Amino acid sequence: MSDIVEARARTVQGTVRGAVERGVAVFRGIPYAAAPVGARRFRAPEPPEPWEGVRDALAFGPTAPKRPYAPPLDRLLPDPAVEGEEWLNLNVWTPATKGAEGLPVLVWIHGGSLLHGSSAVPVYDGSAFARDGVVLVSVNYRLGVEGFGLFPDAPANRGLLDQLAALEWVRDNIAGFGGDPDRVTVAGESAGAVSIGALLATDRAAGLFRRAVLQSGAPAALTPEAARGTTELIAQRLGVPATAAAFAAVDPEALLTAQTEVTSGGNPLTGRNSFQLVVDGDLLDRDPAEALRTGSAAAGIDLLMGTNTEEYRLWFVPGGLTERISRLKLRLALLKFKVPNATARVYRANRPDGTPGEILGALATDLLLRVPLNRLADARADGPGSTYLYEFGWPSPVQRLGACHALELGFVFDTLAHPDTMALTGPDAPQELADAMHQAWVEFATTGDPGWPSWDASRPVQFFGPGAPALVLAPRDDELRSWHRG
């Protein structure tokens, strides 16, 4: 400890000791709930036990059980694992300024298809937010079957309940770190954004945050009938009943292996066996997308939402799927996803040199992400909360990934210099674009205004690259309108 400048903060459970790093006080691995093992496994989260004295918060806490991304994504999306049982922990970055208080707070919920990821991913380093006056909190939650398996003898959406417990921890403790519990923004990407869509739609989250950021993820949830298939397939592979009690008796490594075998193959755009949020009649009493579009949920909450121009390229390009999609496979996919013929014609006409794989990727990106987010923005246009849309378009030169899924993360967090960020961006990503995008997120968390007009009939979208940031009105509107006609 002699070479560490320490920082201390009080929580409800006890005092934690962090470290000052380049003018930022960092606290890692603070438990916000008890370890979900033993009798607590497959149950709703419970408060952590208090401790005596000062608890070290110097290293990232344990990550939820998971396996690395399958090749070739494992090289593009580094996903560190930390051993231990106290998976339900969080990290805090805050200015190391004496007397700092009342600062805006941004709570980050990571993505990873509800199977991967953690708050220990270096791309999510919160130093730049703290440097710019925003307290950054990043959260671990239960993944895979531990957090989202559907059982008759356990609550559904346990990973979402974890996220709620973390937000309640922020409400009760963040003032001790200089943050204002009444100025909380919750932000997430991919599965993190899908989770936030559900948080916006549940009464349990009322009052826990006033703003939300959805990056490359749209509100969605399945019925129990549609959601239980993945859990049942894992049970069949293990030869046990599809109950929490039976799964709790299985060796954890064997359970992870079966989960990986059942969920491998496919991707979020083309489909696979996966874990999803569930309309359980308790935490979620109806589909979050419907709840938000009807205006009954998240009234008064400001939203910042957007996508990357070529989301699909992260899944299609590295493994060569783009080249393997023929005209026949494209036609079959259009039938499977019930894409209207008129819509397909518009996308083809706008991409005269596009391959069948590129056309399918553009259609899938918009069907699953851009169309539902635009429809949500339209539904909120006259409501009490402001809505802002962005699109990230800077193309990565790495493996012809283009403006793919997850590429914007290093820009939002201003972590372009980290090697894990460079795995996606390469070494020459434009710092000036990161400066602009990061500052927009800082401004939104601080004031509710990221720096461009809120959504209205002119449909303003802030484009971040290629080139300098620019406001575009109703981009590719012919494509969006073709889905409505369909």
The DSSP H or E segment spanning 244 is: helix 244-248
Question: Where would I find the H helices in 33-157?
Answer: 73-76, 127-131, 144-148
Q: Kindly tell me the number of DSSP H helices and DSSP E strands found in the chain.
A: 20, 13
CA dist 422 to 194, 315, 396, Å? Answer: 26, 18, 10
CA distances (Å), 126 to each of 133, 135, 147, 199, 201, in order?
Answer: 11, 8, 25, 22, 27
CB of 369 closer than 8 Å to CB of 311: yes
Options 113, 118, 119, 190, the catalytic residue: 190
Q: How far apart are CA 62 and CA 215, in angstroms?
A: 25
Select which of 86, 405, 438, 454 is catalytic.
405
Name 191's Cβ contacts closer than 8 Å, sequence gap at least 6.
110, 111, 112, 113, 114, 117, 217
Residue 14: CB atoms within 10 A of its CB come to 15
Evaluate whether 284 touches 198 at the Cβ level (below 8 Å).
yes
Catalytic residue among 86, 189, 311, 391: 311
**Measured between alpha carbons, how far is 165 from 88 in angstroms, rounded to an integer?**
9
At 457, list the tokens: 């009939």
142, 159 contact by CB (below 8 A): yes
Query: Is 311 marked active-site?
Result: yes
C-alpha triplet 192, 196, 198: angle, nearest 5°: 120
Beta bridge partners of 267: 271
Contacts 24+ apart (CB under 8 A), 13-16: 13/47, 13/48, 13/49, 13/50, 13/51, 14/50, 14/51, 14/52, 14/53, 14/54, 14/55, 15/53, 15/54, 15/55, 16/54, 16/55, 16/56, 16/57
**Gyration radius (Cα) of the chain, Å:** 22
Residue for token digits 């922990």? 89
Catalytic residue annotation: 190, 311, 405
